[in-house]
Chains A and B, each alone.
Chain A
Amino acid sequence: EIVLTQSPGTLSLSPGERATLSCRASQSVSSSCLAWYQQKPGQAPRLLIYGASSRATGIPDRFSGSGSETDFTLTISRLEPEDFAVYYCQQYGSSPFTFGGGTKVEIK
């Protein structure tokens, strides 16, 4: 099973700032099968990024994903008020599919 470790656990930033979230895998993720999700309180996760760097339909271009093998990054170029939430990475290259523990982006 691939273990995903997200860091930091909490990121305290102000609107307009840049957010950089990390996701590290315990072994190489097949074919960059790595996704990022955003979850707000009381809501289901929403797909942001798949294939490590492809934005899902309707996702603003301030969200970008990068990385390969064991190190992946989600970058939010300029934080909007609606971006404060918890973000999860997920690998789907090998079963069982696994999620990281999440990074909470909170308002500073």
Chain B
Amino acid sequence: QVQLQESGPGLVKPSETLSLTCAVSGYSISIGYYWGWIRQPPGKGLEWIGSIYHSGSTYYNPSLKSRVTVSVDTSKNQFSLKLSSVTAADTAVYYCARQRGGFGEFSYWGQGTLVTVSS
């Protein structure tokens, strides 16, 4: 059974960089699939942030592209998200998920981690 688990600081100061990692178990990232990040501000809807293939190929939501970096570490079977210059608007639950293909649905999700941006 594929499992994903997000980890990282729950509190980030404004203007700093948010960094999260998603550890994958039950499946080797290096085999295939795309791996993505989605966020959900408290009480609001879902927003796709970006996705990555095991080769390192990435694509991002244009609304966040200038601030986002998604990377993969196949040796640790994990992938990561960095979001720079954060503001209060970036406060959200951040989910990692497995995506079926470059253009595919998100079939497995992590439990999510709340990141609050505040001084």
Interfacial chain A residues near B33, Cβ < 8 Å: none
Interface residues of A in 74-108 (CB under 8 A from B): 88, 90, 92-102
Task: Check: A33 CB closer than 8 A to any chain B CB.
Answer: yes
Bound CA span A98–B45, Å:
10
- Whether the pair A44, B109 counts as a contact (CB closer than 8 A) is yes
Interface residues of A in 9-41 (CB under 8 A from B): 30, 33, 35, 37
Task: Check: B26 CB closer than 8 A to any chain A CB.
Answer: no
Task: Check: B61 CB closer than 8 A to any chain A CB.
Answer: yes
Interface residues of B in 62-111 (CB under 8 A from A): 62-63, 95, 99-100, 103-107, 109-111
- Whether the pair B103, A47 counts as a contact (CB closer than 8 A) is no
With A95-B59, A96-B62 as contacts: A47 and B106 at CB distance below 8 Å: yes
- Whether the pair B106, A35 counts as a contact (CB closer than 8 A) is yes
Across the interface, name the chain A residue whose C-beta is closest to B51: A97
- Whether the pair B48, A99 counts as a contact (CB closer than 8 A) is yes
The number of residues on chain B lying at the interface, defined by a beta carbon within 8 Å of a beta carbon of chain A, is 20
Task: Check: A8 CB closer than 8 A to any chain B CB.
Answer: no
Bound CA span A33–B63, Å:
21
Q: Which of A35, A50, A93, A101 contacts B45 (CB 8 A)?
A: A101
The chain B residues found within 8 Å of chain A, CB to CB, are 45-48, 59, 61-63, 95, 99-100, 103-107, 109-112
What are 8 A-B interface contacts by the 8 Å CB criterion? A37-B106, A44-B109, A46-B109, A47-B105, A50-B100, A90-B105, A96-B61, A99-B45
